Amino acid sequence: MKITIAIDGYSSTGKSTVAKQLADWLEYIYVDTGAMYRAVTLYAMRKGLISDGFFDKESLINKLSDINISFTRDTTSGQAEVCLNGENVEQYIRTLEVSSFVSPIATVSEVRAKLVEQQQRMGEEKGIVMDGRDIGTVVFPTAELKIFMTASAEERAKRRYNELVERGDDVNYDAVLSNVVERDHIDTTREDSPLVKAADAIEIDNTETNLEDQFHTILQLAKDRI
């Protein structure tokens, strides 16, 4: 039997790494919903809907029907990459600039409704691992396995900082840490679908856990449900 696996948690807790590993191992579809919110944010930036730290919510809502988000498979890495209106934008959506606007944009109910509907369609056949903030609570409330990931803010910022440096971005650790803290604050306090642990989710704190051990723990939880 194929199941649905929902992985939620704070920013940079390694959700996507473990979700990808699980999907590869189980031969399931993997969907990074954060990438979808990031692609909408990139669209808003490119259309000039963001300036001086504010975004034009009404115009964004009016343009939502022009935004098409899809995924493509990178032929070299085999990874799913996000497309905005047919253009592979994976390399543009992980910047600190996109990270600093994505959470305010993810508070807009019309944006959420559009993306949640698409996410639910992608999971209709089960056999899916999806990561985000509201997967176990809103997108797939009946998922057979729900994981809620946490780690200390400092550890998470360190991981994100290393990732950005590896990509060649010119960033400073304090800016990354404040972005992580700020996003968590917006994500947990927004009115629509705030980040909360679903009552039936299993919480995993990986501040000090080896990622390989964590993968095996979660894989076993999945196997127990298949």
Residues of the binding site for ATP? 9-17
Residue 187 near ligand C5P by CB under 6 A: yes
Residue 201 gets which letter from DSSP? Answer: P
Residue 183 near ligand C5P by CB under 6 A: yes
Q: Is 224 left (phi over 0), alpha (psi -120 to 50) or beta?
A: alpha
Strand pairing report for 145-150 and 4-9: parallel
Minimum distance of ligand C5P from residue 38's CB (angstroms): 6
Site pattern 56..95 for ligand C5P (x: CB under 6 A)? ----------------------------------------
Of residues 19, 20, 55, 134, which one binds ligand C5P by CB under 6 A? 134
Distances (CA, A) of 19 to 26, 66, 97: 10, 29, 25
Cβ–Cβ under 8 Å, residues 111 and 60: yes
Residue 148 near ligand C5P by CB under 6 A: no
Residue 42 near ligand C5P by CB under 6 A: no
Q: Of the two residues 90 and 134, which places its CB atom closer to ligand C5P in the complex?
A: 134
Chain centroid offset of residue 48 CA: 24
- Host H or E run for residue 23: helix 15-26
Residue 106 near ligand C5P by CB under 6 A: yes
Residues at the contact surface with ligand C5P, assessed by CB under 6 A: 11, 33-34, 37-38, 102-103, 106, 132-134, 183, 187
